[in-house]
Amino acid sequence: MELSALQQRIKKLYGTKDAQRGVEGTFLWFTEEVGELAAALREERHGKLPRKELEREFADVLAWLATLANLAGIDLGQAVLDKYGSDCPGCRKTPCACSLLEKP
């Protein structure tokens, strides 16, 4: 599924609720999902979580990110293309040559 299709699907499913919740409330849900993903990654690494559950946590984080983008009027597909569509935004090379200590 492409990012634009994901955004439209999320908007169709939850757009009314999301608008009522607003950006601030939605951001709180998003951060909770990121925390759940962090816990799932830890559990999966230690063999305590089925892979399918980890996949669901990734999907949740992406869905809440799409919700935030919808509320902010951001086309995620275009934003990703603009920033990462060619070379690394930090060092301007492919593959990235930034130090591991740098955030590109």
CATH architecture assigned to 3-73: Orthogonal Bundle (1.10)
How far is Cα 99 from Cα 9, in angstroms, rounded to an integer? 38
Q: Residue 56 pLDDT > 90, yes or no?
A: yes
Mean pLDDT calculated for residue range 39-58: 94
How far is Cα 43 from Cα 69, in angstroms, rounded to an integer? 29
Over its C-alpha atoms, the chain yields an Rg (Å, rounded) of: 16
Structure token digits, residue 1: 């599924």
The model's confidence at residue 103, banded by pLDDT at 50, 70 and 90, is confident
The domains of the chain are located at 3-73
Contact 70, 15 (CB under 8 A): yes
| Residues 3-35 pLDDT 10s | 999 999 999 999 999 999 999 999 999 999 999
The model's confidence at residue 102, banded by pLDDT at 50, 70 and 90, is confident
